[in-house]
Amino acid sequence: MSFAMHGVGVSGGIAIGYAHLVSHAALEVPLYALPKTQIEGEVVRFETAIESTRAELEALRTNIPAGSPAEFGAFLDLHVLILGDSVLSKAPIDLIKGQRINAEWALKQQMDALLTQFEQIEDDYLRERKADVVQVVERVLKALLGHSGHVPATGSEQTRILVAHDLSPADMMLFKQQRFAAFITDVGGATSHTAIVARSLNMPSIVALHHARQLIRENELLIVDGQQGVVIVNPDKHILAEYKLRQGQWEIEKQKLKRLKTTAATTLDGTAVELHANIELPQDIPQVREAGATGVGLFRSEFLFLNRDDLPGEEEQFAAYRKVAEDMKGLPVTVRTLDLGADKQLRFADRSGDNPALGLRAIRLCLAEPQMFHTQLRAILRASHYGKIKILVPMLSSLSELRQTLHLIGHAKQELALEGTPFDTAIQIGGMIEIPAAALAVQTFAKSLDFLSIGTNDLIQYTLAIDRTDDTVAHLYDPLHPAVLQLIAMTIAAADKAGIPVSVCGEMAGDAGLTRLLLGFGLRQFSMHPAHLLAVKQQVLKSDLPRITGIAQKMLKAQEPEKLHQLLARLNE
């Protein structure tokens, strides 16, 4: 049966491929009794699943993809160890025989018992290993239920579409190593970090589909239209032909944009605009260069900390920052200090609290963990000797936070100077404006900083009180809300007055439909995912600042959504 589902498109393009359902297998385990005659066969089925899972883990272990997080190997070793534990690999056999039940159920019972034991453990680190137990059991369940968790490394994966209930940003980083044609999830918002990483995979993706994971079956044919946020399940041949055509057109447009790679981003009236890229890991740099970005405007350094069981040390961080600085060959690289917390938690120390977006996140967490922060600051400063690095502090809300941060940076500099370790003594320090309080008090921040960067994803989240990750309020997330526009324009104007540069590095910067609006507010520096850079450049090249500035200023006075959309349409004519 063919049907369509609607969600929130987070990355454009059209993909046509076969559904691959991931995760949550543990929640969907069938229970059935077996006649005596089938018991032996069931035991063999269980043992075969354990063996094939072991082989799969070992194969992954010996073919760790380039660019995997450093701890990926250790994490696979741990999974092999868990799999070998008799509680999971032997005890279920007794249950199958004793209770005459199916292998999946026997395994799930053992997993539940094990997880209850884990709850009693006092050691935080060991208690957190629960997640690993679940992941190992899910792998075995997938082998039992007939769908492999392992994605083949052949050309066929290009046409696989990942269907999940939810994916964390950390999950997405792992999927970065496997090629999928698209990804869709039931939950999530367009500016959640999961969606942002999906965008960095440069493939169509849709979130907030609500029941996709339930309604779509393994290997069903899907069309994913990331632009419109539509998924068509089992399309008929006419629809399929239509979408193949659109897919071809999309590709042609993409190829055309590539010609702009080396063109300077200058408006019709001759104003130069800087188009920088956002990255998560050093491995993203080839894509940045491919897009012709003139710098890295946001390196989300916290991604170096995900998918591992320890903190990256100074040397490892130094090597990562240095690599980016060197690979960018003298172009600016803005390293944002750790923005852990909320939806980006350390695997071994979840500090999310009851209200994670308002909790111990970003600079707050760094100030609460000065040792961890100090290690990062030393690593960034040391790397600054090898390129043009800038430091960017996320989520500032008060001047006292900024003062403490500057003091800690000063301390790290002093330490390095005493040791005789080289670093850029004139390194620029900037702050992110992503909390309304910071935008309203922006002049105070601007006085003590070398540059500002507006994080519109969080600025919108906090201004409109909308959780970025919550699909139930995703429809209320509105970059054109008059309050949001005022805060952005105020920040740009304040930076201008203070004589310091300001950029936008939230998702608004990569939306070509908003390029002229931001230019009209006076913005001259944008930082976005590299996949969006050339489309934004195309807008810049076609923009006439004297004409658009007047309309953008009118938008600042407008209050009604209809009027705002009408003016935006005029702006984009």
Query: Within 13 Å of residue 115, how many CA atoms lie on the same side as its CB?
Result: 15
> Among residues 431 and 455, whose Cβ is nearest to ligand PEP?
455
Q: How many residues form the binding site for ligand PEP (CB under 6 A)?
A: 11
Residue whose token pair is 């290009």: 158
Question: Does residue 458 bind Mg ion (CB under 5 A)?
Answer: yes
Select from 54, 199, 300, 516 the one that contacts ligand PEP (CB under 6 A). Answer: 300
Choice from 458, 467, 471, 511 touching ligand PEP (CB under 6 A):
458
**Residue 529 zone, left/alpha/beta (φ > 0; ψ -120 to 50; rest):** beta
Residue 505: which of Mg ion, ligand PEP, none does it interact with, CB under 5 to 8 A by kind? ligand PEP
- Contact flag: residue 505 with ligand PEP (CB under 6 A): yes
Pairing of the two strands 14-21 and 221-225: antiparallel
Closest approach, Cβ 431 to ligand PEP, in A, equals: 12
Give strand ranges (E) for 133-264: 160-164, 182-185, 205-207, 221-225, 230-233
* Under rule CB under 5 A, residue 430 binds Mg ion: no
| Contact call for residues 363 and 435 (beta carbons, < 8 A) | no
Q: Which does 301 bind (CB under 5 to 8 A by kind): ligand PEP, Mg ion, none?
A: none
> Could you say which of 434, 467, 471, 511 contacts ligand PEP (CB under 6 A)?
434
Report if residue 204 touches ligand PEP, rule: CB under 6 A.
no
Query: Which three-class secondary structure state does DSSP give residue 98?
Result: helix
Pairing mode of beta strands 388-393, 428-433: parallel
**Residue linked to tokens 């907030």:** 208
Helix and strand numbers, DSSP H then E, in the chain: 24, 16
Which CB atom, from 267 or from 461, has the smaller least distance to Mg ion?
A: 461
Cβ closer to ligand PEP: 373 or 526?
A: 526
Q: Within 168-227, which residues bind Mg ion (CB under 5 A)? A: none
Q: Does 339 bind ligand PEP (CB under 6 A)?
A: yes
Of 298 and 416, CB closest to ligand PEP: 298
Which of 79, 193, 276, 532 does the annotation list as catalytic? 193
332 bridge partner residues: 388
Nearer to ligand PEP by Cβ, of 10 and 298: the residue is 298
- Residue 17, H or E segment: strand 14-21
* Site membership for ligand PEP, residue 168 (CB under 6 A): no
Nearer Cβ to ligand PEP (106/439):
439
CB of 345 to ligand PEP, least distance (A): 14
Query: What strands, in cross-sheet order, belong to the sheet with 230-233?
Result: 3-6, 230-233, 221-225, 14-21, 160-164, 182-185, 205-207, 8-11
Q: Which is nearer to Mg ion, 42 or 458 (CB)?
A: 458
Half-sphere exposure of 205 (CA within 13 A, CB side): 29
Nearest distance, CB of residue 357 and Mg ion, angstroms: 10
Residue 188 as a binder of ligand PEP (CB under 6 A): the answer is no
211 as an active site residue: the answer is: no
CA end-to-end distance (rounded Å), the chain: 41
Minimal distance, residue 217 CB to ligand PEP, in Å: 34
455 binds Mg ion (CB under 5 A): yes
338 versus 564: smaller Cβ distance to Mg ion: 338
* Count of residues interacting with Mg ion (CB under 5 A): 3
Residue 456, contacted partner among ligand PEP, Mg ion, none, CB below 5-8 A by kind: ligand PEP
The region of 174-182, 217-225, 240-248, 454-462 touching ligand PEP under the rule CB under 6 A is 454-462
For position 520 contacting Mg ion by CB under 5 A, the verdict is no
DSSP secondary structure letters along 377-405 = HHHHHHHGGGSEEEEEE-----HHHHHHH
How many angstroms from the chain centroid is the CA of residue 134? 23
Helix segments in 63-148, DSSP class H: 72-84, 86-89, 91-99, 103-120, 124-127, 130-145
Question: Both tokens of residue 266?
Answer: 């200058």
366 a catalytic residue: no
Q: Is 455 in the site for ligand PEP (CB under 6 A)?
A: yes
Q: Does 532 sit near ligand PEP (CB under 6 A)?
A: no
Q: How many CB atoms lie within 10 A of CB 310?
A: 13
Q: Which is catalytic among the residues 20, 505, 529, 532?
A: 505
Residue 512 CB: number of other CB atoms within 10 A? Answer: 17
Contacts with 1 (C-beta within 8 Å, 6 or more apart), sequence order: 234
User: Are 283 and 327 contacting, i.e. CB atoms less than 8 angstroms apart?
Assistant: no
Residue positions annotated with a catalytic role = 193, 505
Given the rule CB under 6 A, which residues bind ligand PEP?
A: 196, 298, 300, 339, 434, 455-458, 505-506
Given the rule CB under 5 A, which residues bind Mg ion?
A: 434, 455, 458
